[in-house]
Amino acid sequence: MAQLQLQAPADLLQYQLRTAVTMENDSLAMLRELGKAARSPEVKKMFTHHAQETKEQIANLTKVFKLLELKQTTAASPTTKGLARQGEALIRRSDPKLRDTVVLSAALGTEHYEMAAYQALLVPVEAMGASDVAALLRTNLDQETHTSEELQKMLMKVAGMPA
């Protein structure tokens, strides 16, 4: 049953974890679409690699629910849905020679949202002293941060800039 109002920090944490699961599942679907739209084999390979990492992140979230003894469910993530729609619209409107720039830009925006989500989750978990949970969330955050850096470098390369 959906809770209408969050009344305690634990309620907020559980809700944010539920949206994080949806966020990662949405991201996985988006990565498949961005990979199809990409032109460069190197960019396609990046998306394939990040899709594998995203599956690992989903597995880490499953472990978090178990460690916190929470039932794993999902909650809507309107932000990731919006980011996906924006990426789809840009792909449709762009000339094929811009596709790699478009898909890299779309992925970069998603990474920054995911980084913020994990940063927000880490605060209450660390305040609770749940170091095992924090380690899993930090692993996800570190992967998102690394992916963001790689996307930025590739975007610069595609734009003809030195990385």
Contact 61, 121 (CB under 8 A): no
Checking if the pLDDT of 1 tops 70, the result is: no
The whole-model pTM stands at 0.93
* Mean pLDDT (whole number) for 103-125: 97
Q: Nearest Cα to 21, choosing from 114, 84, 110?
A: 114
Spatial distance between the Cα atoms of 37 and 26, rounded to a whole number of angstroms? 17
- Fold assignment, 9-158: Ferritin (1.20.1260)
How confident is the model at residue 162, as a pLDDT? 82
Give the start-to-end residue ranges of the domains of the chain: 9-158
Instruction: For residue range 128-158, list pLDDT tens digits in order.
Output: 999 999 999 999 999 999 999 999 999 999 9
Instruction: For residue range 18-61, list pLDDT tens digits in order.
Output: 999 999 999 999 999 999 999 999 999 999 999 999 999 999 99
